[in-house]
A and B are shown apart, each in its own frame.
Chain A
Amino acid sequence: MTTETTVGRFGRYGGRYVPETLVPALLELEEAYAKASADPSFGEEVARVLKEFVGRPTTLTPARRLTESWGGAHVWLKREDLAHTGAHKINNTVGQVLLAKRMGKKRIIAETGAGQHGVATATACALFGLPCEVYMGALDVERQSLNVFRMRALGAVVRPVESGSRTLKDAMNEAMRTWVSQVADTHYVIGSAAGPHPYPSIVRDFQAVIGKELRTQALAAFGKLPDAIIACVGGGSNAIGVLHPFIGDKDVRLVGVEAGGHGLDSGQHGASLTLGTEGVLHGSRSLVLQDADGQIQEAHSISAGLDYPGVGPELAHLAKTGRMEVRTATDDEALAAFYEVARTEGILPALETSHAFARGRELARDLGKGKYLVINCSGRGDKDVATISARGVPPPVGVKS
């Protein structure tokens, strides 16, 4: 099943809006990826690394206490948090770094928001022996110090970006600028299903392993496909990865949850599918948060990974055509969901993932008993503990204060 309407386009969205210097590199990447995809040995190598190193397939875990507490559909979790490095991001970086090696590239650059994609890229580079440079907004460098350490420990250079809002969008600008000057021998590993064609398709294909596994696991665990799947959406790589294999299954409800930040009326959020307008950012036409003059607005989310004013073009298409339902969760709702999941299931979800959990209760009740809801647990919350604990920890369970 594809939603690609013409090459590199998802309905009105997608395309390749980049400086001419980069176009030949994107054409080269498109060709190399097509060749690799047609070569069974490439797919086998990716699958082998995912199994041996990443720990795939990740499990599908029943969330029994959440199911009971929410009083609706059976809730199951697709556990990308159990993948090596702690998030789904590794699925894509293993694939792209192997592709870069096939292309004979000598070095890797990447951008990162929360640091998960940076860690995953640094990890794949360490595994395959390529030097790695990661661009990260200076604000994110401050709030994700654990991941900054991890990248450095893995041998990567972390370059803090001081321009603009000092977050993911600016890191992506800087990575693109760097790529323009070093395009001959450098591969840029984009971490979201965003950016210029062919990135949205490449990232989706590498992340679709999540949804493919889920299909098999759901059929085995509950004898049918899930009735609904819910995933958080920043740029959207975990969402497109888990949802894409189900696009053709009309009975499966696909739900994306965006960052509501301080609330949709506050002007401080990351809800580009809900409130964005058509525009061009980082090489593709999609839905972006911008003012009437076409200046990109700063996004806000408590979670660095959702703090992005754009979204992948395929998700924009799925949202606009109604195939994917779009909801939002505020910072406070995500925080509440973090503790709820921690205390009912023994899992600390990433703040990104907590947005998906925050809309779980309504959806489970809406579906009703006997139905199956799967939440994509895109990453673990270890990286977020400083942000979360700074707001104070609720008292322990079952202890009188």
Chain B
Amino acid sequence: MSGEIAQTFAKAKARGEGVLVAYAMAGDPDLPRSVDVFAALVEGGADIIEIGVAFSDPIADGPVIQGASERALKAGSTLKRVLDEVVPEVRRRCPQTPLVIMTYVNVIMAMGEERFAKLARERGVSGAILPDLPPEESEGLRATFDAAGVDLIPLCAPSTSQARAQGIASNARGFVYCVAVSGVTGMRAELPADLSQRLDVVRKASPVPVVAGFGISTEEQARTLSAHADGVVVGSALVRAAHADGPGAAKALCADIKRGLKR
């Protein structure tokens, strides 16, 4: 298992704060300028960078990330180019920040699971999140990733039963990604009332840190959740800010949310 992710959570905890996992889409608006966005997220206080790799049929994503996917594909983004051109540059500019790839299973299959895992590790990727790969389908891929030292980070959902969530958590690598809302990625004004309780259950069963994601976009939400999770994931809000107003806006939003994570 890669140690970078665990270290990052441990350091944040020692500083008395939750971890901010910040997502942006590689290749949006183009490959070089997306590197500027990733660097801005880290300047704004992001602890872990989630690098989105576009897929033509992103069934887990809402309109904001769908739109970013379409722009990235038009700009010629592919998994290979992200690993060759984006990851090394982000690594160079943000050497201390663990990088996690988020994409769909077909994109990984097309490259070849082993080839991806090896290349990813060589370029400095610590983990991967595949939102359309539930535990039933992930065993083989997880073994391949384990062998290469890339964490396959699992997801839990609001509809996941307690027993199933405990199973997912106890086998997790890197961290457990708890999907906060029933639905696709995107900002929500309100988070479900039972979210804290669900996070507590997963956290109790998990040997690795637990983060909440989907629907989170404000300092206030981060503050509420930081009592029940080791961190939060923010995606659509950052993608929208970067797209509308450039890297500086994404940096400022990261800083806001990071304030909410200080305990």
Q: Which residues of A contact B (CB under 8 A)?
A: 15-25, 163-164, 169-170, 173, 176-177, 180-184, 278-283, 288, 290, 292-296
Contacts and interface: CB of A to CB of B under 8 A. Distances in A.
A19 B105 contact: no
Contacts of A19: 59-60, 131-132, 134, 155, 157, 179
A17 B73 contact: no
Nearest to B78: A293
Contacts of B133: 17
Contacts, number: 123
Given A180-B184, A181-B182, A280-B132, A293 B57 contact: no
A17 B182 CA distance: 17
Contact of A16 (B109, B131, B137, B184): B137
Contacts of B168: 20
The 9 closest A-B pairs by CB, nearest first: A294-B110, A181-B183, A21-B157, A293-B78, A294-B107, A20-B157, A295-B56, A280-B106, A24-B159
Given A280-B109, A292-B110, A20 B155 contact: yes
B155 A296 contact: no
B7 to A, nearest CB: 27
B79 A294 contact: yes
Contacts of B183: 21, 177, 180-181
A331 to B, nearest CB: 24
Contacts of B135: 20
Interface of B: 54-62, 66, 70, 73, 78-80, 104-111, 131-137, 154-161, 164, 168, 179, 181-184
Given A173-B58, A177-B183, A294-B111, 17 more contacts: A15-B136, A15-B137, A16-B134, A19-B179, A20-B159, A20-B160, A20-B179, A21-B157, A25-B159, A164-B70, A173-B57, A180-B182, A181-B182, A181-B184, A182-B182, A279-B106, A295-B56
Nearest to A21: B157
The dominant DSSP class at the A interface is: mixed
A40 to B, nearest CB: 31
Contacts of A180: 59-60, 182-184
A162 to B, nearest CB: 10
A21 B137 contact: no
B130 to A, nearest CB: 9
A101 B179 CA distance: 29
Contacts of B134: 16-20, 23
B57 A281 contact: yes
Which of A17, A177, A282 has the most B CB atoms < 10 Å from its CB?
A17
Contacts of A278: 109
B188 to A, nearest CB: 10
B132 A17 contact: yes
Contacts of B106: 279-281, 288, 290, 294, 296
Given A16-B134, A164-B57, A293-B110, A183 B159 contact: yes
A68 to B, nearest CB: 47
A182 B79 CA distance: 31
A281 B56 CA distance: 10
Which of B56, B107, B158, B184 has the most A CB atoms < 10 Å from its CB?
B56
A282 B57 contact: yes
A109 B97 CA distance: 43
Nearest to A280: B106
18 contacts: A19-B59, A19-B179, A20-B154, A20-B159, A21-B157, A21-B158, A24-B160, A164-B56, A177-B183, A180-B59, A182-B182, A279-B109, A280-B109, A293-B80, A294-B110, A295-B54, A295-B56, A296-B56
A180 B57 CA distance: 15
A163 B55 CA distance: 13
Contacts of B131: 19-20
A19 to B, nearest CB: 5
A19 B213 CA distance: 14
A23 B60 contact: no
Nearest to B177: A20
Contact of B73 (A24, A279, A295): A295
A122 B184 CA distance: 26
A154 to B, nearest CB: 27
Contacts of A15: 136-137
A170 B133 CA distance: 20
A273 B109 CA distance: 18
Contacts of B156: 20
A282 B158 CA distance: 21
A290 B73 CA distance: 14
Contact of A18 (B54, B109, B132): B132
